[in-house]
Each structure stands twice: as C-alpha cells, then as structure tokens.
Amino acid sequence: MALVQEIIRNKRDGNRLSRADFACLFGASAHDSWGPLASDAQLAAWAMAVYLNGLDRDETVGLTCALRDSGRVLDWRDLDRPIVDKHSTGGVGDTVSLILGPLVAACGGAVPMISGRGLGHTGGTLDKLGAIPGYVTTPDIARFQRVVREIGVAIVGQTAELAPADGRLYAVRDVTATVESIPLITASILSKKLAAGLDSLVMDVKVGSGAFMPTLEKSRELAANIVEVGRGAGLATTALLTDMNQPLAPCAGNAIEVRCAIDVLTCATNPQRLLDATFALAAEMLVSSALASTRDAALQDLHRALASGRAAECFAKMVAALGGPGDLVEHPDRHLPRAPCRRAVHAPSSGVVRAIDVRALGMAVVALGGGRRRAEDSIDPAVGLYAFAQLGATVKAGDAIARIDARDEAGAARAAEAVTKSYSIEEGVQEDGGSDRHGGLDERSVVIEKIG
C-alpha cells in the first residue's frame, strides 16, 4: 500500500491518483471499524492539493466510492419500490424536501432522505423538522429503514454509520479553506447518497444571490460534475439548476416553513415558485425511476397525489412514525412554536423590487436565532420571516415587504434593518416580460436548466 505522504506528493505535483490511493486515505471497506490511515494534518494537505490541482472524473468516482465504503451501505433489495431521492445545494425558504418526499412516496417511490442542518445563510431540512415536538431526527438505521418500508418516506439526519469518512474529511475541509472544490463537494454529496442505497438521484443546484455556488457557471459546473460522477458510480443522476434570486417559499425559518409545507400539502395555499420547483424535481424523480414514462405523466400523477390528500397523509404518517404528534397536519398551531414579537418591514420608497440579496435575508434569519453562527449553537425554531414581496412587485412607500416573528423587540428591529437593506427598490414600473437584471435570468421561472 502506498504511503500517505506519497499520495499527497503525487496530487501536489498534479498526478492522477488510483483507486488504491483513495482506499489507503479513507480505509475502504473498513465498515464499523473504520480506522483512518491518514492523520488530519495529512488529510488537510491532501485536500489543499486537490483544491489546487483538481480530480478528474475517474478519480472523483474513486474518492466517492471510497467515502461510501467507509461505512454501511443500506440494502433495500426486499423493497419493490424504486429508491429515489433529491438533494439541494441549499437555499433560503427552500421548503421543497418536506413536500417532495411525501409527494414522491404517494406516487410509489421510496424516499430515504438523509438531510443536513443549516449551513451558513441556508436553512437545513433537519432544523425545520427539529421544530416538530417529539420528531426524532436521528433514529437508528433500523427505525429509519422501517419507516421508509412502511410509509415510503423518512426524512432524517446524517448518522455516523453512513459515509463516516466524509464527516471527518468535511470537518478538515471546513477549517482549511478547501470546502469550495467541485470534486470534493461532488464526492461528499454523492458518497452519502450512495450509502443510502439509492437507485436514482435528482440534484437541485441553486443559482443566484442566495446560492452556495457564486455564479451560474460554477453552479453549472458542479451540476455537470455530480451528474457525470454519479453515473460513473452507478447511480442514475440528473440535475436541475434552479433560481435562488429570491426565497422559494413565502417564508424562511424553521417552524414557519413546516407550517408552510403543511399548508401546501393540504392545498390550503399554493405558493407558485415553491410548487414549481417541487413539481419539477419530483417529476424528474418519477421519470428517472421509471415510475412515470414522461414528464407530463409524472406531473399528472403528482397533481393527483397532492389534490387527493395522499401526499399529506404520507407526511402525517412519517411525522407520527418518527415520534411527532399524530395530529400535526390537522392542528399545526397546537404544536409548532411561534415567536411572540411580530412586526412588518415597510418599503422605504415606492418603486419596483429589482433585486433581493437572498444571502442577507438568510443571515437575518440566522441573526433572529433561526440558524447557527457556530456548529454548537442551538436553534430557535419559533422565529422567522414571511410574506416576502417578490421580485418585480410594485410597492408603495410604507407597504409591507416582509413580516417578522422575533423573540424580542431588539431582534425584530435588527431583522427589519437587515431585510430593508436586502431589498433593492427602484423607481419605475414593472414591464411585461420580467427583468433580466438578476444574472441574466428571467425572474419568473424557477427552473433554469436541466443537466443530464
């Protein structure tokens, strides 16, 4: 077996690494007794060498498989449904997973969704589910698999048993300025999805002022890399580039987004952008797993599952099976907390909403207590923002452009200032045809491009 320092030297000098090199670095197939052969210092040096010199497709497949094989790989052979999932690079008001998981389950898919906590300005599905009293976000694998088998969907957090080497590598990358490497991001995401035993995956790669990737080109590059490497590792993978130049849901926070998801699932509201993104991604899942023969057929099935209440029923059953209240869907306000200090944010001038700094909006939610500044921070599930004015809206000075639920007056005042600053309102009227002032994107369409 190669020496770790020789592997680092090779990558430092721009050479290709072999499957055996990745096994050496990440202890392939060690399963429960994963024992790293490389120290954190060596992983840091290696990650920087990769950041600077990259990995080609075959190397990235090798890294992905080595990370996958550092832990358990879930086996669903006894299940006669396709195993499908969606993963997003993260956004603000991205409530898609809470709606899409039950919706796809109601259409015949099995969705073992392992989701993450909020990262930086973006919200995390796990933190949203954490707002539901009693919901066990980290069940053991046996319970997780049981819920997927019985109901068709379970949304839970990462466990140490799946791709543990990724957790360790990510922690090293986080403190060594090596997170923003496309092959490392690709391998990190895909290793966890492969460990969950998926047949197919659709990636939602965000583009815009609230996206993790800084430009449309970088988002496109990441999406193409994930599709290519996923397929190289035997996973049917497609990707949609979707717009994050404004929040997807009309709200951002934790309990508030669960309430929004329930309202959508019960057809009490139909926020257009959130529904468009959810249906587009879910349709990809149904087609790629052969649950539907065409996108149109998939969309029809999805609409039926929503309108009939079957998707809401799957959500309710999942919540109950994972320890949450049995009547959450019927009585969300009995269970979901809401912060007491409520106020509107008023437009400082009249005009058209020309741009929204979505990252700043996300940071306003973090500052309210709805996200974390440091990994060990706790979350206030009850705070949030809602009733956002959308891009292209014509507003008058003094109109509400957003509303705030805060813990106290001081928090509300800080959030109001941040929200006001994040909105660019310019004189004039909205012209037909939308605007192209947001990175060349039509502000009305959520799906920008399909890759793969």
Catalytically annotated residues: 85-88, 125, 173, 188, 192-193
Tokens matching residue 148: 């997927």
Q: Which amino acid is at 304?
A: R
From residue 276, alpha-carbon distances to 9, 392, 407, 444 in Å are 48, 18, 32, 10
- The residue whose Cβ lies closest to ligand URA is 188
Nearer to ligand URA by C-beta: 235 or 401? Answer: 235
Nearer to ligand URA by C-beta: 170 or 423? Answer: 170
Dihedral of CA 97/99/104/106: which sign? positive
Tokens matching residue 177: 């300025």
Largest CA distance in the chain: 69
Query: Within a 10 A sphere around the Cβ of 175, how many other Cβ atoms?
Result: 10
Tokens matching residue 109: 């898919």
Q: Which amino acid is at 283?
A: A
Which 3 state secondary structure label does DSSP give 446? coil
Q: Which of 338, 346, 335 has the alpha carbon at shortest distance from 403? A: 346
Q: Which of 308, 286, 312 has the alpha carbon at shortest distance from 110? A: 286
Nearer to ligand URA by C-beta: 178 or 422? Answer: 178
Tokens matching residue 83: 């195993």
Which 3 state secondary structure label does DSSP give 58? helix
Please tell me the distance from the alpha carbon of residue 335 to that of residue 134, in angstroms, as a whole number.
10
Burial of residue 31, with CB atoms counted within 10 A of its CB: 0-12 exposed, 13-18 middle, 19 or more buried: middle
Dihedral of CA 429/447/357/396: which sign? positive
Please tell me the distance from the alpha carbon of residue 450 to that of residue 364, in angstroms, as a whole number.
31
Q: List the alpha helices (DSSP H) in 84-215.
A: 96-106, 125-129, 141-151, 164-174, 182-195
Please tell me the distance from the alpha carbon of residue 350 to that of residue 241, in angstroms, as a whole number.
32
Q: Can you say how many angstroms the Cα of residue 312 is from the centroid of all Cα atoms in its chain?
A: 21
Which string of x and - marks every residue 175-214 that binds ligand URA (by CB under 6 A)? ----x----xx--xx-------------------------
The number of residues in the chain equals 452
Contact between 48 and ligand URA per CB under 6 A: no
Q: Which of 305, 345, 355 has the alpha carbon at shortest distance from 107? A: 305
Please tell me the distance from the alpha carbon of residue 378 to that of residue 395, in angstroms, as a whole number.
36
Contact 261, 215 (CB under 8 A): no
Contact 172, 43 (CB under 8 A): yes
Residues forming contacts to ligand URA in the complex (CB under 6 A) are 170, 179, 184-185, 188-189
